Amino acid sequence: MTDGAAEARERRFYDQVAGALASDELSRRAPDSYDRAILEAVGQLSGRRVLEPGCGAGDLSLGLLDRGAVLTGLDVSPGMIDVARTRVERLAPGASARWLAAPLEETGLPSDAFDLVVGKWVLHHADVERAAAEVHRVLRPGGVAVFFENQARNSLLAVSRRRLLRSRALARVGTEDERPLDRGDLDALRRLFLRVDEEYPSLYLLELFSRSILRYRGHRWWQRADAWLWRRVPRLRPYGYHVLLRLTKG
């Protein structure tokens, strides 16, 4: 997200998503594989002050609260904030959570206020340099940020995605302003944080094309094929579509 117009588009898109959620979608869902990777990375959180940008409908929020987080949920969409607040009040009564509708690039939160920042698919919707600077500011010295993101390290995937976005054959998921993190984005993170660690908990090569081109036909088969490649050919892992980032503030 690079300007006010993009921010407004993101807010409008996710407000519409929030408004369309059915009541049965507000029940507690089991963590998906991406949530599990994040929760495994952060460990137990008893009493730790956690900021969750891009909290969306609150699925990951519930997992963080289950682990004892003192949570601040942040989202650019007021509609999504309302959904997350409602779900947490219903499904985790008494949990320590507060909510804020604001962009990650300019949260308005105090400096050095959080032990941990945790986000799922949020940086690649943002102006990465500005968002990273804000994350760095609100983290306490020695604090850590963990983000599960889309990346564009695989040039074949990056070029294919750009071309497919212009094709009517593509089943679009997400917004027009999002883009996978590229080397420039990762370099910006390295300039700011004391340490940037990358992990690759899933491959998401074949599955991406199954989703985008085949419109989920045979999706489970492609998921299994990706999982087999992830296990058997570890050198492919950095070239998949997902990366788990751990950013440590000096």
Write the CATH number for 88.
3.40.50.150
Cα gap 139→248, rounded to integer Å: 9
* In-domain check, residue 190: yes
What was the pLDDT predicted at 178? 87
pLDDT at 29: 87
Q: Is residue 224 part of a domain?
A: no
Q: Which domain holds residue 68?
A: 4-151+178-202+241-248
Query: Residue 101: which region, alpha, beta or left (left: phi > 0; alpha: psi -120 to 50)?
Result: beta
171: in domain: no
| Residue 80 · residue 100 · CB < 8 Å | no
Number of domains into which the chain is organized: 1
> Mean pLDDT for each 10-residue chunk of the chain (250 residues)?
81 93 79 94 97 97 97 97 95 96 97 98 95 98 97 66 51 74 95 97 81 73 91 91 95
* Residue 110, Ramachandran bin (φ over 0: left; ψ between -120 and 50: alpha; else beta): beta
pLDDT, position 204: 84
Whether 182 is in a domain gets the answer yes
pLDDT for residue 172? 52
Q: How many Cα neighbours within 13 Å face the side chain of 187?
A: 4
Please indicate, yes or no, if residue 160 is contained in any of the structural domains. no
Cα separation of 92 and 184, whole Å? 40
Give CA–CA dist 19/6, Å, rounded: 20
Question: 242: closest CA among 168, 150, 120?
Answer: 150
Instruction: Report if residue 76 sits inside a domain.
Output: yes
* Residue 219 domain flag: no
pLDDT of residue 163: 52
- Torsion, Cα 118 56 165 20, to 10 degrees, reads 170
Per-residue model confidence (pLDDT) at position 195:
97
106 domain residue, yes or no: yes
